[in-house]
């Protein structure tokens, strides 16, 4: 999947998120939800990190990715 320029900045800000984990969430998400601006949020649980990963996609391009603390509280662990 193509990255937009901001994604490179997000990668620098969140170096703890591995590219393999992003690919895993996009290939087999636990949950996908749309945002009002048309972006999509993909969620997946990363067992190695014991955290939920949120990946944001806009127009088929990677926009952002980070660990989502709220979903761990809301959904727990799968």
Q: Copy the structure tokens of residue 58.
A: 């806009």
**CA-wise closest residue to 64 among 72, 75, 55, 73:** 55
Phi-psi region of 43 (alpha: psi -120 to 50; beta: other; left: phi over 0): beta
> Global pTM?
0.84
2 pLDDT above the threshold of 80: no
3 pLDDT above the threshold of 70: no
Mean pLDDT for the chain? 88
Helix, strand or coil, per DSSP, at residue 40: strand
Residues 8-40: tens digit of each pLDDT: 777 777 788 999 999 999 999 999 999 999 999
């Amino acid at each position: 999947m193509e990255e937009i320029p901001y994604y490179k900045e997000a990668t620098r800000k969140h170096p703890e998120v591995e590219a393999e984990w992003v690919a895993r969430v996009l290939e087999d998400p636990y949950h996908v939800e749309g945002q009002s601006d048309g972006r999509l949020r993909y969620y997946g649980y990363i067992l190695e990190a014991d955290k939920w990963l949120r990946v944001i996609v806009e127009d088929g391009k990677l926009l952002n990715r980070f660990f989502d603390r709220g979903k761990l509280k809301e959904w727990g662990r799968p």
